[in-house]
Amino acid sequence: MLKRLLPKWLVGSLATCLLLVNTLVWGVIVFILGLVKLILPFYATTVVLHWAYSGWRLGNRLALQLGCERFNVRFDGKVDPKAWYLLIANHLSWLDIVVLSAVTELPAPKFFLKDELKYVPFIGSGAWAMGMPFMKRASKEQIAKNPKLKGMDVERTKRSCHNFKQYPSCIVNFVEGSRFTPGKKQRQLSPFAYLLKPKAGGIAFALQVLGEQFDGLLDATLCYQSQGSHICRDFMLGRLTQIDLLVNVRDIAPQLIGDYQQDKAFRVEFQQQLNEIWQAKDELIAQQQAPTAAPNCAKVVDTTGKV
């Protein structure tokens, strides 16, 4: 291929420029279509918006294929492109979002966003236009002062999910809540060798609000191999050699849907199940980790089917 004849730094620069231009062009298009949606809030407008979103995703895939020697995606189970899913993944880099969006076999990836973000120019309007659900939750202190707020966060979020239900999608949740680094692992006193502590609240809330809408759970594991220690920087410099993504398709057990915020017994049980899965996953990564593997590369593993 032509990119093998070019210097790596030039290949990385071209791929980075493609990512930026791709995001700028399709971002402007989505913003304009969002304004149209305000005037013509019809299903046809949603379809056109998702056409633009698909264009952005395809551009991301082309950029990754240009900037990385190998981009491997494997599914363990069948994904229905016309279904709705909750997707959970480990978090290693800012590039993770681009990678997940570039897997065009998945229904449109979307994110739960804080309600305040809807007022941020471009980000909020673009997310609203794409039907991404906004989450507004009351704290325990607010509920203690005003008991009428109990349960209102769920109802508000359900209303914000109306547009999400119009088009097949998968809600993305990075379970660890932050990108993994050895420093964060040490500060967090994580009991895992290759993972940060999992945070169950986001998954539990998504299941509580949209449990009946989801057709299944997608357990995605990301792995990068590069010549350096910083994934994004290595991509920009053309030193990212391989991206691996395994997506395990799972059913959602009925007992996983409950009130995580108010039901203490359910909260303890849910967190315990997630911890057990994370421990099993960490042990499997340790067993399969090659002695010479780069520190930002964890082998894909298949955990239990509880979640």
Residue 141 has pLDDT above 70, yes or no: no
* Phi-psi map region of 306: left, alpha, beta (phi>0 left; psi -120 to 50 alpha): alpha
Q: What is the mean pLDDT of residues 187-192?
A: 91
Strand 240-250, strand 216-226: pairing:
antiparallel
Give me the pLDDT at residue 96, please: 92
The DSSP annotation for 194-227 comes to: S-PPP--HHHHHHHHHHTTT--EEEEEEEEEEES
Residue 184 has pLDDT above 60, yes or no: yes
pLDDT tens digit sequence for 198-251: 988 888 888 888 888 899 999 888 888 887 778 899 999 999 988 988 888 988
Residue 89 has pLDDT above 60, yes or no: yes
The answer to whether the beta carbons of residues 59 and 78 sit under 8 Å apart is no
Contacts (Cβ under 8 Å, ≥6 apart) of 275 = 198
Phi, psi (degrees; rounded to nearest 5) at 293: -65, 150
Give the range with max mean pLDDT: 15-24, 105-114, 190-199, 213-222: 15-24
Residue (of 268, 248, 247) closest to 258 by Cα position: 268
Per-residue tokens: 15: 């791929």
Neighbours of 34 (CB within 10 A): 20
pLDDT tens digit sequence for 242-265: 898 888 898 888 888 888 877 888
| Beta pairing partners, 248 | 76, 219
Residue 163 has pLDDT above 60, yes or no: yes
CATH 3.40.1350 fits 71-288, yes or no: no
Across 81-85, 126-130, 279-283, least confident range: 279-283
